[in-house]
Each structure stands twice: as C-alpha cells, then as structure tokens.
C-alpha cells in the first residue's frame, strides 16, 4: 500500500478533504493523465508564497561533477590570480550581473533568468541524491549505492507519483511524466560503481525515470585525466553527427534492452512483457509490473511520443542554436518532449568514458572549460531559454540548471590546473515557470568561498520547484515501512526567486 498523509490542503491527491487517504498499489497504477488534461493538484497551504502551480512542466539541466562558481555565474575579477584564474568576466544584459567571459550568448539572455550565488550545504561529495531528493543528510556509501533502502525519491519521481494520484482520467500519459536523457545516469563511464540520485527511492523502482538511449556518433576527440589514468577517444559532449537521435531505451530501467523498436517487432505488448518477465521479476517489485505494462502500452501506441523524438522536424538553424553536441541535442529533445505533454524531463551532462569527468575538473580544468564545458553550456542553455521564450512557453516551463556543489576558490597545481570539491558556496540558475527574470539572489564573499547574504540549500530549491509545479512541499508520503516522510523536511520556498 501507498499512504498519503496530511491536512486537506497539503495532500497531493487533489481529490478529497479527508485527513487520511489510503491508496491501494494496483489502483494507483491505474491513475494518470489523459491527453490534454491538467491534473487537479492540491491547493497551496495557507500563507504560502505566490506562484503555486505556475509551472505546467519542468526541464532540469544537471551539470554532473559540479562547475566552478567563479568560472560561470560568480566571477571574482578583483581576487588574486590563484582565485580568479585565467578567465575574465563580461557584463550581461542585467545591470550588475557579470558572468564568465566564455558565456557570451548567456550574457545576452540573463534577463530571462535568475541566478543564485549563495548556494551552500555541508556535503562536498558528488551528492546527486542530496541535490535532487529530499533526503536530509547523505553519506558517500549511499551515493555509491543507488538501491540503498535509505534513499528518498528523485524530484521527477515525486512529480510522477503526485500527478498520478491527482490524475482525472484512466491510464498513463502518452509521454511519460518522468524522462531522463541522454541515457541511464552514470551508465556510460568506467572506473567506479554506479551513482545514486535519479531513482524512485522509497517509492520503489516502479517510479524510476524512463531512460532514453543515445543512438549516434561523436565527431570530436578529447583527452581526459583521472589521477594517473588518461583516456582519449571520441567525446559526444564536444560534438555529434546531425543524424544522431534519442529513443526510449526500456519500458523499465530494470529491463535494459527492451526498446520500443524491439517491442514493435513482436506480436503484442502482452507477449513481449511476458517474454521479458524473468528479467523483470529479478529486479522490479511485483506490484510495479502492471504499471510498466500500462506505460509500455501508452508509449508503444503514442504517435505524439515518436514525433517528439524526431529531430528532423526542427530546422537546421534551431538545431544549431542548441549546439550540435550531446547536451545540446538532448536539451532540444527535452523541449520537444515537454511540448508534446511531458511533465518533467531531465538532461544530465554526465560522465562519459572515464569516471571523474563531466564537470569534475580536478585535472585539466582550464583546457576542458575552454574547449568543451563552457562553450557547450553557453550555446545550449541560451538556446533553450531563447527558444522557449520565442514559443511563449517559458512562463509555463520551469528551467533548472543545477549541480551538486561548486569548486574550491583556490586553484590547485594539478595537470592543467584544477579546482576541487566545494559545497560551502556555489551558484545555480533558474528560469521560467514563475521564476523572476533578471534577478540575482544571495551574495558570496570576495573569494566565492562562503555566502555573506541569504544562504540557500538544495532543499530550498526543491521546495521552490515543487511549489511552482503545484505540489505543496509539506506533502507527506510514507516509505515502504509505513513511516511518514515529508517531501523536503528541511526546505523552504525561496520567495525572492518568485516572479
């Protein structure tokens, strides 16, 4: 059973005023969105900030490994060279908001976004689970174990669950409510075990995201360093061929290889799932089978979903505006997916080929920032904001550009220069869906080492996102042991972020 607890205005069921609602697991799987129907969501709690439910959809861009706050949205041109580094700053179109000189396109669209310069928390590890779930504290062992029973659900999984409970029609939506591009997180690099974060947590594996698969080819090579290891190969985050695409990789993350193309080649969806049952049963809770079967039916018959993945529908100019890179074309596909009815789509700038890469620049910091990371971010994020705004979608689409922490103010002497982990102060960017435009929230000290005004935690960002997506952050779900768990017990909606 899944139990939803709370006061009448705090439930995510949106259907009843009783103080306690029990929802049977199988009946839960039968609820969802029908085409064109907005779910009836809970009302905001009394006294809540404005903007509740402004965002109809969300695109989360996650920069795994953590970018330097100094080389992105909080440059320190007056600091000593060992802090300010090799790169300068440029003014943006928001007075007083300077950003890194290698973000010239973003500088032209900062009036569409808000920057937080005072992010802070006590865990300088690659805490994707800490950044993207309500878990109050994290340990490294948990971050390296995606199925640790103590994990809390990913923000996209919570949205999927609450929207399902609030659904006004039968069946599941044609476009899954919780999608991740470009592939299953942490699956395309070697050197370490898988990392936690974007999973169903105590909601169970049935609320894991639907992963996509990258089918394409990189066009540029890269050299990466991890301690004494060197990796050199084609790097798709630097460039991909125009015919590269994405597709749904599995009906469930527990059944890798069950692609929609493969399902299509067989006689019926029921036969396909029965054929794969031995693999699925080994990894998925029995109660999740029916939901995944329904999801497969919805996806297999969805012309809307197929068209969303068809990048040939976009002009060459639009594709180039996002950048012909893995991150750029993933973000463009994400825009197409939310336009087709997707509710929560995540794009990871993930590690590739070698652990300790992505934005984790302990080594080769400046070569990678100059040749790959900053140009890729500049093109993709500016392209997404412009495109959404031009289509009239930005005010209803929440865009989150997040990471797990920042990087040390002082540069190390490692090969190519480096900045190590730093969670005491870093920056994030938010836009659309009820977020204020052209604003800076919080302030760091002269070295971007600590906040000196308005410290904000990842939990506050999650609480704000839930609020804008029409889910009261005070909602209480229960875990598999029946214990009540708040979505973000330590987070508060940040009113300064709101339009």
| pLDDT of 21 | 26
CB neighbour class for 117 (10 Å; exposed up to 12, middle 13-18, buried from 19): buried
DSSP string computed for 372-385? IIHHHHHHHHHHHH
Locate all alpha helices (DSSP H) within 54-146, ordered by sequence.
81-84, 104-107, 128-132, 140-143
Q: What 3-state class would DSSP assign to 349?
A: strand
| pLDDT of 290 | 60
What distance in Å separates the CA atoms of residue 102 and residue 382, rounded to the nearest whole number?
Answer: 13
Q: How many domains does the chain have?
A: 1
Residue with tokens 């029908």: 34
- Consecutive 10-residue runs of the chain (499 residues): their mean pLDDT? 30 30 28 30 73 97 98 98 96 97 98 98 95 94 90 96 69 86 91 85 92 95 81 92 87 43 42 47 47 66 88 97 98 97 97 87 94 97 98 98 98 90 98 98 98 98 98 88 89 97
Our CA angle for 431, 303, 247, nearest 5°, is 65
| pLDDT of 3 | 29
> Which residues, in sequence order, are CB contacts of 70 under 8 Å at separation 6+?
76, 83, 84, 85, 100, 407, 409, 419, 448
Q: What is the pTM of this model?
A: 0.85
Judge contact between 118 and 425, C-beta under 8 A: yes
> Which residues, in sequence order, are CB contacts of 420 under 8 Å at separation 6+?
362, 407, 408, 412
CATH of the domain at 142: 3.40.720
What distance in Å separates the CA atoms of residue 253 and residue 184, rounded to the nearest whole number?
Answer: 8
Peptide bond preceding 182 in cis form (omega within 30 of 0): yes
Extended beta strands in 169-209, E state: 169-170, 178-181, 189-190
Could you give the maximum distance between any two Cα atoms of the chain, in Å?
67
| pLDDT of 171 | 57
| pLDDT of 53 | 96
Judge contact between 458 and 130, C-beta under 8 A: yes
Rg (CA), the chain: 22
What distance in Å separates the CA atoms of residue 12 and residue 203, rounded to the nearest whole number?
Answer: 14
Q: Give the residue among 211, 163, 162, 164 at the shortest CA–CA distance from 29.
A: 164
Domain encompassing residue 59: 2-497
| pLDDT of 48 | 82
């Amino acid at each position: 059973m899944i139990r939803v607890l709370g006061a009448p205005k705090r439930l995510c069921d949106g259907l009843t005023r009783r103080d306690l609602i029990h929802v049977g697991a199988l009946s839960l799987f039968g609820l969802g969105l029908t085409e064109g129907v907005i779910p009836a969501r809970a009302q905001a709690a009394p006294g809540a900030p404005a903007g509740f439910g402004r965002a109809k959809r969300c695109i989360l861009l996650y920069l795994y490994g953590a970018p330097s706050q100094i080389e992105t949205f909080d440059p320190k041109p007056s600091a000593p060279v060992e802090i300010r580094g090799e790169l300068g700053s440029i003014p943006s179109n928001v007075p007083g908001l300077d950003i890194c000189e290698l973000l010239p396109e973003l500088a032209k669209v900062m009036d569409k976004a808000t920057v937080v310069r005072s992010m802070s928390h006590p865990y300088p590890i690659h805490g994707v689970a800490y950044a993207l779930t309500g878990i109050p504290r994290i340990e490294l062992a948990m971050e390296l174990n995606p199925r640790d029973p103590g994990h809390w659900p990913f923000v996209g999984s919570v949205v999927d669950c609450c929207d399902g409970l609030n659904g006004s029609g039968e069946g599941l939506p044609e476009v899954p409510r919780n999608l991740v591009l470009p592939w299953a997180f942490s699956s395309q690099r070697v050197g370490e075990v898988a990392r936690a974060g974007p999973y169903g947590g105590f909601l169970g594996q049935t609320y894991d995201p639907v992963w996509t698969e990258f089918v394409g080819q990189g066009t540029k090579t890269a050299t990466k360093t991890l301690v004494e290891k060197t990796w050199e190969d084609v790097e798709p985050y630097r460039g991909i061929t125009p015919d590269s695409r994405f597709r749904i990789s599995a009906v469930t993350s527990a059944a890798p290889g069950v692609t929609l193309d493969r399902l299509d080649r067989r006689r019926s969806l029921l036969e396909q799932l029965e054929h794969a049952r031995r693999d699925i049963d080994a990894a998925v809770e029995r109660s999740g089978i029916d939901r995944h079967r329904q999801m497969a039916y919805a996806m297999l018959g969805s012309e809307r979903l197929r068209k969303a993945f068809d990048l040939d529908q976009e002009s060459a100019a639009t594709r180039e505006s996002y950048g012909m890179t893995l991150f750029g074309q993933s973000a463009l596909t994400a825009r197409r997916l939310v336009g087709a009815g997707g509710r929560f789509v995540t794009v990871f700038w993930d590690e590739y080929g070698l652990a300790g890469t992505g934005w984790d620049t302990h080594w080769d910091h400046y070569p990678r920032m100059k040749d790959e990371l900053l140009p890729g971010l500049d093109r993709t994020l500016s392209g997404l904001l412009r495109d959404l705004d031009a289509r009239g979608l930005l005010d209803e689409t929440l865009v989150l550009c997040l990471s797990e922490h920042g990087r040390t103010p002082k540069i190390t002497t490692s090969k190519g220069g480096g900045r190590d982990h730093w969670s005491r102060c870093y920056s994030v960017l938010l836009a659309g869906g009820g977020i204020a435009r052209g604003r800076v929230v919080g302030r760091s000290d002269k070295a971007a080492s600590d906040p000196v005004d308005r410290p904000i935690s990842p939990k506050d960002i999650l609480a704000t996102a839930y609020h804008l997506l029409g889910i009261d952050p005070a909602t209480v779900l229960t875990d598999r042991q029946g214990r009540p768990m708040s979505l973000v017990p330590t987070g508060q909606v940040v009113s300064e972020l709101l339009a």
